[in-house]
Amino acid sequence: MSGLLSKLSGGQQLASAPARSKPVQHNPKRSAALLAGLEAANLGWFWESDGTGHLTYLTDAAIVASGAETGDFLGACLTEVFATDDGAGGETTSRPLKFRLASRSPISRLNVKVVASGVKEMWWEISATPRLDDHGDFLGFYGTARDITRSLAHSRDSERAAQYDSLTGLANRFRMARQLEQTLKTFKQAKRSCAIMLLDLDRFKKVNDTLGHPAGDELLKQVAVRIKKMVGDMGEIGRLGGDEFQILLPDMDDRGDLAELSKRLVQMLSQPYSVDGARAIIGCSIGVAVAPYDGIDASDLVKAADLALYAAKDAGRGTYHFYSSQLSQSADFRQRIEDDLRDALARKELLIKYQPIVDAKTHKVASLEALLRWEHPERGQVSPAEFIPVAEELGIITEIGEWVLEQVCIQLQSCPDEVRAAINVSPIQFASDDFYSAVDRILAKTGVDPARVELEITESVFVGDLERTLKLFKQLKRRGLRLSLDDFGTGYSSLSYLRDAPFDKLKIDQSFVRGCTVENNNNGALVSAIVGMAKALKMETVAEGIETKDELAMVTGHGATHLQGYIFSSPISIEELLVRFENKELEFKPRGPEKYRAERRTEFRRIGLIHGDSRYDVFLRNISKTGARIEGLLHVPVGTEFVLDLGDGQLAVATVRRSQGFTQGIEFETQLISDGAKGLCTRHRVSPYQIEAAGKPLGALTNSAVAAYTGAMPTAPKAFVEVDISAQIRR
């Protein structure tokens, strides 16, 4: 302690001492007594080290407070006693402290963790001054210390409360925004990518309304646990508020990997939950955006993910969607849909078409599925996948649903007595308090035989009040109606539904029928299992979405009692049906291709084609995961390789497999993947960093920027002749 005492007694003038004509002579013994008094009153802890960095003195009270022994401190190297915090309240490292000690500079109010042997969890704040001899040689440090364990814990708790959601323990909106901002700033300099996912729970509000907010909070906790289990250490997860979550995924831009994660999340979050003894079933929709492709700044990237999330919801929920530049146009389209849909019923723009459901043995029509259509006066036919979710959000789905039920009951009266009609019921319509009374009123008004009316229910109606749902089923059955469980086998099917609910029919979802004959596809086995179970429960089965003869043979061979799909008929008007019925044409003969092939989407849009140093404009007529048909170039030899620019930076290497005139059938080198909403996309895109390296400013992908990046050489001769077929396309 002599070094410390010598410094304290070394000719320093007391600040409060009055001015004197002569210097005050300090007594070393008096200074030592003052120091001892401070220590005895526990008003300060003091420490000292030698020139080699070993601790030579520490106040006894500090050792006692630590719960360790004197030998655990004295003689130990300072870096074996203290470790500096990393700034995040997590792992610690002594390296910064080593630098401070090696520099022999003063230490001011440094937070350190006490890591000496035998010490309990403890944090000190230390300060120190280098001790020098008369020649200026370093002799060690002397300094002070104080216990900040409680105050630091309180500070960190306050900081955590400001950054984390108190309900789920996930990062909150503030932290996620800051993390995204910092990540994008760092990754922009390092030329790295980053993806974000926005997750919104489907039907969560219904759980809150039926089971109460405490149950809703418990459900959110369970959702958070499932998301953490799926994401692991791939990224950070946050709850933005309500039932909206965000996932930040550094260094992810492969949309194949992002699609797989999205599908697993949708599937996992759609499994049933047990909340306060009740069974709850929700769903999940996901929007995905990737920097720098879809946005450079945080606000742009979040906006892109938000648009993708809306697209996923518009596609029927329970799916994911990647951002594309077309979504901005789709957002405007959605707003127009909302504005026009309110008046569509009054303007008589809604109509009903019917798709026949035939007996598997005779192929004679057994029932008709009523399908709602909207013929817009300006935009033509609007897909139900686009306007039904809008109707649900606007709160007019119940009104529309009742209109559909009444119209079907009226039109059914004109059909043969043995023909039934199946009507899809929205979960929101089913949940309304007056659903049964509305059905009863319409049946009485139209006079139709209730046994000819079949209500198609999806499993989402089991969310929340199961007792109420089963009671309503019994009421409907007593009224004489038939019940069908639609889309069975998707999402969160449960045998308990079949045990408790009085269904007459199971509809096997078309996702199990499509491609069921492809090698290494297990769909056939699943269809067989569903049919066998339904047969044991004395239920009929309908295989949906049959399009090819090999699919037809498979589902028939596995014993499905009824069949539905384009192989028999597309949805047709009631007038066409009545003509057939009048002519006794009850049989629908199967017409379609022999075998399943990868689903192709019809397209009518202009795209770019790059061959050598030349760029061409061609028309894309259809596209599948494995290939496409293009038009616009004359006499392209089979085997020609080129690159298709599909827009939004999507470049696909392709080879011509068929060529006739100005039409070519091409095969992709790498298969496309699903965008989550019945569209297709490439796994990878042109990186904006590549475009920047070519001399263009860094920014989110635009078609013009990609076209310039992949553009033709000014003097390069073109190998093929372009044909203007735009007039033919319009015809």
Amino acid at 253: D
Structure tokens at 29: 């013994």
Euclidean distance between the first and final Cα of the chain, in Å? 100
pLDDT of 431-485, one tens digit each?
Answer: 888 999 999 999 999 999 999 999 998 877 776 567 888 899 999 999 999 999 8
Task: Give residue 666's pLDDT.
Answer: 94
Res. 16 pLDDT band, cuts 50 70 90? very low
Structure tokens at 371: 């399908």
Asked whether residue 15 carries a pLDDT value surpassing 60, the answer given is no
Asked whether residue 27 carries a pLDDT value surpassing 90, the answer given is no
Task: Give residue 500's pLDDT.
Answer: 74
**Residue 687 and residue 661 in contact, taking contact as beta carbons nearer than 8 Å:** no
Mean pLDDT of 347-362: 93
Task: Give residue 31's pLDDT.
Answer: 57
Asked whether residue 677 carries a pLDDT value surpassing 80, the answer given is no
Mean pLDDT of 717-724: 85
Mean pLDDT of 353-371: 95
CA atoms within 13 A on the CB side of 4: 22
CATH of 2-13+23-151, one of 3.40.50.300, 1.20.120.1780, 3.30.450.20, 3.40.190.170: 3.30.450.20
Task: Give residue 7's pLDDT.
Answer: 41
Task: Give residue 8's pLDDT.
Answer: 38
Look over the chain and give the mean of its residue pLDDT values, rounded to a whole number: 85
Cα–Cα distance measured from residue 249 to residue 276, given in angstroms and rounded to the nearest whole number: 33
DSSP states along 686-710: --HHHHHHTTPPP-S--HHHHHHHT
- 601-730 belongs to CATH 1.10.3470: no
- Topology classification of domain 164-324: Alpha-Beta Plaits (3.30.70)
Report the relative pairing of strands 482-488 and 453-457 from DSSP bridges.
parallel
Looking at the chain, which residues constitute the CATH 3.30.70.270 domain(s)? 164-324
CA atoms within 13 A on the CB side of 276: 14
Res. 93 pLDDT band, cuts 50 70 90? very low
Amino acid at 274: S
Res. 181 pLDDT band, cuts 50 70 90? very high
Cα–Cα distance measured from residue 487 to residue 113, given in angstroms and rounded to the nearest whole number: 59
Task: Give residue 88's pLDDT.
Answer: 39
Burial class (CB in 10 A: 0-12, 13-18, 19+), 676: buried
Cα–Cα distance measured from residue 389 to residue 367, given in angstroms and rounded to the nearest whole number: 26
Higher pLDDT, 689 or 34: 689
User: What CATH architecture does domain 333-582 belong to?
Assistant: Alpha-Beta Barrel (3.20)
Cα–Cα distance measured from residue 593 to residue 610, given in angstroms and rounded to the nearest whole number: 33
Mean pLDDT of 576-592: 92
Looking at the chain, which residues constitute the CATH 3.30.450.20 domain(s)? 2-13+23-151
pLDDT of 605-653, one tens digit each?
Answer: 889 999 988 889 999 988 999 999 999 999 899 999 999 999 999 999 9
